[in-house]
Amino acid sequence: MQAPPPEFHVYLNDLTGNDFNSVFRQLQQQPPPESCRRRRLGAAWPGSFYGRIFPAESLDYVVSSSSLHFLSRAPADAGNEGRMYVSAGGPARVLEAYRAQFQRDIRLFLACRAEEVRRGGLLLLTFVARREAAPSVHDCLWDLLAAAVESMDARGQLDSFDAPFYGPCPEELTEAIREEGSFRVRRMELFEVSRQGQGGQGGRRQLAEQTCSTIRAVVEPMLRAHLGWDAMAMDGLFSRYCLLLHDYYRQTHKLDQLTNVFLALDKIS
């Protein structure tokens, strides 16, 4: 006699401001399963993953995609005047402040998941990273956004804003995983995500528009809350940012290559 297929319980996690109703409406648009034969059961568990979310030893797999580069908070008192993130031209203390905040956050994330995942469970994580310990070329895109803010006579407000974002290098990840001690690296792989125009000035303009749109979707809510600007002011800011990006791509002839890391971690304790 053939054994019945296993049931899969999928627990969806996001911050409390996420529209979970929208998520579940999308799930219901799929073909309905047969009555009493449903093998995929979904549930929402709102809350920050920099804390406990699920019951102890209740999970076999944890999957996190494009989230762990967001910190629980920006580093305090980084002294990052005129910028909003780490930069090749910025002071070393800013990079150290970001590194320290990331180390605290990733160890807390791992410690919380260690309580929730069964022994032998697996974490599958992917997020923004960088290949070297020094700030990457891609980090300069934050400098261009800072320049756009400053061009709108908001230097004082810029000096008090730092992006709660950090892309670690492999050595920083290895150190955090080893020192937290609950997981073993099964696999670590870096890969590039690129946007590329069609060539020529039109392609560079398209690339600038794509990059601006992506960064705006991520950063605008934080900047609007910090600066107190209305929609028209934000439109003006990102129009300036797009022009700076276009000029950057036109002069450097570089693609918008963003390094990501994929991690597979086994629970060992």
DSSP states of the chain as a string? -PPPPPPEEEEE---TTS-HHHHHHHHHTSPPPPTT---EEEEE--S-SSS--S-TT-EEEEEEES-TTB-SSPPTT---TT-SS--TTS-HHHHHHHHHHHHHHHHHHHHHHHHHEEEEEEEEEEEE--SSSSPPGGGHHHHHHHHHHHTTT-HHHHHT---SB----HHHHHHHHHHH-SEEEEEEEEEEEEE--SSHHHHHHHHHHHHHHHHHHHHHHHHHHHH---HHHHHHHHHHHHHHHHHHHHHH---EEEEEEEEEEEE--
- For 130-141, the pLDDT digits (tens) are 999 988 777 888
Could you tell me how far CA 160 lies from the centroid of its own chain? 21
Give the β-pairing of 59-65 and 117-128.
parallel
- For 205-263, the pLDDT digits (tens) are 888 999 999 999 999 999 999 989 999 999 999 999 999 999 998 887 666 678 999 99
Q: What is the pLDDT of residue 193?
A: 85
Q: What is the pLDDT of residue 137?
A: 73
Report the CATH number of the 48-267 domain. Answer: 3.40.50.150
User: What global pTM score does this model have?
Assistant: 0.88
Please tell me the distance from the alpha carbon of residue 144 to that of residue 215, in angstroms, as a whole number.
11
Q: What is the pLDDT of residue 126?
A: 98
Is there a contact between 193 and 258 (Cβ–Cβ < 8 Å)? yes
Instruction: pLDDT tens for the chain, 269 residues: list them.
Output: 777 778 888 899 999 888 888 878 877 766 555 555 557 788 889 999 999 999 999 999 999 999 999 999 999 877 888 899 998 888 899 999 999 999 999 999 999 999 999 988 999 999 999 999 988 777 888 999 999 999 987 777 888 899 999 999 999 999 999 999 999 999 999 998 876 654 555 688 888 999 999 999 999 999 999 989 999 999 999 999 999 999 998 887 666 678 999 999 999 96
Position 167, amino acid: G
Going 103 to 107 to 110 to 112, the CA torsion angle's sign is negative
Please tell me the distance from the alpha carbon of residue 177 to that of residue 265, in angstroms, as a whole number.
9
Q: What is the pLDDT of residue 93?
A: 92
Phi, psi of 148 (to 5 degrees): -65, -40
7-32 burial, b at 16+ Cβ within 10 Å, e below that, comes to eeeeeebbeeeeebeeeeeeeeeeee
Give the list of residues 6+ apart from residue 85 with CB closer than 8 angstroms, or none: 98, 139, 142, 143, 146, 162, 163, 165
Q: What is the pLDDT of residue 65?
A: 95
Give the list of residues 6+ apart from residue 94 with CB closer than 8 angstroms, or none: 75, 78, 79, 80, 83, 86, 87
Q: What is the pLDDT of residue 242?
A: 96
**In the chain, what are the domain boundaries?**
48-267
